Structure 1
Amino acid sequence: MRTIGEAAAELGVEAHVLRHWEQVGALAVRRDGSGYRVFDDGALEQARTVLKLRRVGLSLPEVVAAMAPVKSQAQPVVARKIAALEAEVAARQQAITFLQHTVDCRHRYLDDCPDCATFVREA
C-alpha cells in the first residue's frame, strides 16, 4: 500500500496528476478509513497504464475510453489514434525527404530548383 505521494514519486508524476486522473475517471483508487487515497498494486499498475497511454499521445478522454472494460468500446479509440500517428509519421517522412533534398540540392536557391518547387506544391 502506498500513499498518493509515494505512488506519485514512484511514477514520476505530481500527486495532483493522480488526483486529476481519478477525478476524470481514468484511475480508480480506494480510500482508507480516514478518506485518504491508498494505492495498492492494482491501482499503481492502472496508473502506469494511464501514464503510458498519455505518453503515446492519448488525451485523457481517449485514455478513459481506451481503458473501457468492454474491448469493443476501446478498440475504435485506439484505432483512430493509430491512424493519426501513422499520418503523422508519413508527414514527418515527407518533411525529412524534402529537407534532405534541400541539403543535397545543387541549386544555389531553392526557388531555382524544379524538384524543390514540386515538393512545395505537394504540401
Structure 2
Amino acid sequence: MTIGEVAAELGVEAHVLRHWENVGALTVRRDGNGYRIYDDSALEQARTVLKLRRVGLSLPEVTAAMSPKKSAAQVVVRAKIAALQNEVAHRQQAITFLRHTVECRHRYLDDCPDCATFVRGA
C-alpha cells in the first residue's frame, strides 16, 4: 500500500505517518525509488501506533510501549495506567464537587464549609 492509501484507511493525514516514522514509532520499507511501501506488518504497526495514541500515549511512550522487550513496554503501559487512574480520581472529585454546588443551600460557595473543604483538598 502507498502512504496515501494507509492514511485513508487509518483516517489520518499522510504527514502524520511520516512524522511517526521520523520519531521512530513506525518502521516502513522503501522501494528502489525511495517510496514508502506499507506491507501487512507496517500497516499493523501503524494501527497499533494509532490505537496507543488514541488511548493517550505520547509518541515517546508509544515508541517505548512497542519495544521488543516486553518488560520495557510494560513499564510504560503501567505508568500510563497509573496516570489515567489518577486522572479518573481527580475527575470524579470534580464531579462530586460540581454535584454538591448544584444542590448546595449556600448562595456563595465561600459560605459553604463543604465547598471550602473541597477547595483546600484540590
Q: Give the TM-score band, short-chain normalised.
A: over 0.9
Once the two structures are aligned, what percentage of the paired residues are identical? 83
Deviation, structure 1 residue 32: 1.6
Runs of 5+ consecutive residues of structure 1 not aligned to the other structure: none
Distance in 2 separating the partners of 1:47 and 1:87: 28
Distance in 2 separating the partners of 1:121 and 1:60: 35
Distance in 2 separating the partners of 1:26 and 1:121: 42
Per-residue CA deviations over 1:16-47 (Å, capped at 9, x if unaligned) read 11111111111111112221101112111110
Deviation, structure 1 residue 49: 0.4
Per-residue CA deviations over 1:32-73 (Å, capped at 9, x if unaligned) read 222110111211111010011111111111100000011011
Equivalent position of 1:9 in the other structure? 8
Distance in 2 separating the partners of 1:73 and 1:121: 38
Runs of 5+ consecutive residues of structure 2 not aligned to the other structure: none
Aligned length: 122
Distance in 2 separating the partners of 1:120 and 1:21: 41
Distance in 1 separating the partners of 2:74 and 2:47: 20
State the AA in 2 paired with 1:86: Q
RMSD across aligned positions (CA) = 0.8
- How does 1:1-123 map onto structure 2 within 5 Å? 2-123=1-122
Distance in 2 separating the partners of 1:24 and 1:113: 51
Deviation, structure 1 residue 99: 0.5
Distance in 2 separating the partners of 1:115 and 1:87: 22
